[in-house]
Amino acid sequence: MLNCLSRQIRALPFTFTASCRLSTLPTLENIESTEIEEPPLIYGGYTNVRQAWVSNLDTTKDNSSAIIDLHPQVFGSRPRIDIIHENVVWQRKYRYVSYANTKVTAEVCMSGKKPWPQKGQGRARHGTRRSPLFKGGSVIHGPRSHKTHFYMLPFYKRVYGLTSTLSVKLIQDDLHIVKNLDLPSDDPEYIKNLVDSRLWGPSVLFIDDTDTMPRNISLALNEIKHMNLMPVYGLNVYSMLKYETLVLTVAAVKKIQERLLYQLHRPDCNYANRKFQLNQQN
């Protein structure tokens, strides 16, 4: 069929084929008059910017008065439940040390006397009850010293774990943004009434861009065990899942977006994703 089509095209007059070529070329006037449309920016499959209300902690009732734009690559990424689970398992294991210890034959506190004669009773021959064949005896190839379960999760799995958890918290309406963490009182009952009236919690994690927290909220949360304060540099997947509600300040949101966007698009990604070594500095 292709051969027949090529023979039919060759049979056409030259002027006809040349005119077809010229008709398909755009003219200079058309090029100047039409504007080139740039494709829309796509952030991980989402083009819509995420938004959230910004409120204050001055009153117990919700007083949202402004809206903040959230970057879709940080707060609107596709949730990866598998990566979130890997981050939780990693955080629970990397600080765990097993101190299990077993005794060899020489360490068992038991008599070394031969349990019965070598011959004459029809029993299997044994030289001591400290043998691993007896109950209460030694253990063969058992753990002899402490063992660490530390390992390092790949770099981008840690980054995507943070973006996935933040996105899930925002989708579930468990992420709230406040202007700052200033409270009018250091009474713990005030923050409890605030959380109850705004339907937060019961466990709440407040995050700011600095580790120097305001005085009133620090004193108020000292007596409340299910609420806590955390700086941005300590943000992790396990803590965000441990507390039901996540409260961020505007400064913390900007800091989180700045750091995570840099890590997602850093030029030295191969260096960041290298194999972890125990003596590395960064």
What SS3 state is found at 97? strand
205-228 pLDDT, tens digit per residue, is: 999 999 999 999 999 999 999 999
pTM of the model: 0.74
pLDDT classification of 270: cutoffs 50, 70, 90: confident
pLDDT classification of 281: cutoffs 50, 70, 90: low
Q: With 0-12 CB in 10 A as exposed, 13-18 as middle and 19+ as buried, what is 192? A: middle
Q: Where are the domains of the chain?
A: 50-96+150-275, 98-148
Architecture label for domain 50-96+150-275: 3-Layer(aba) Sandwich (3.40)
- Asked if residues 100 and 143 have their Cβ atoms less than 8 Å apart, the reply is yes
Distance of CA 48 to the CA centre of its chain: 22
23-50 pLDDT, tens digit per residue, is: 433 443 443 433 433 334 444 444 588 9
Tell me: pLDDT of 164 over 70: yes
Give the strand pairing for 97-98 and 66-70. unpaired
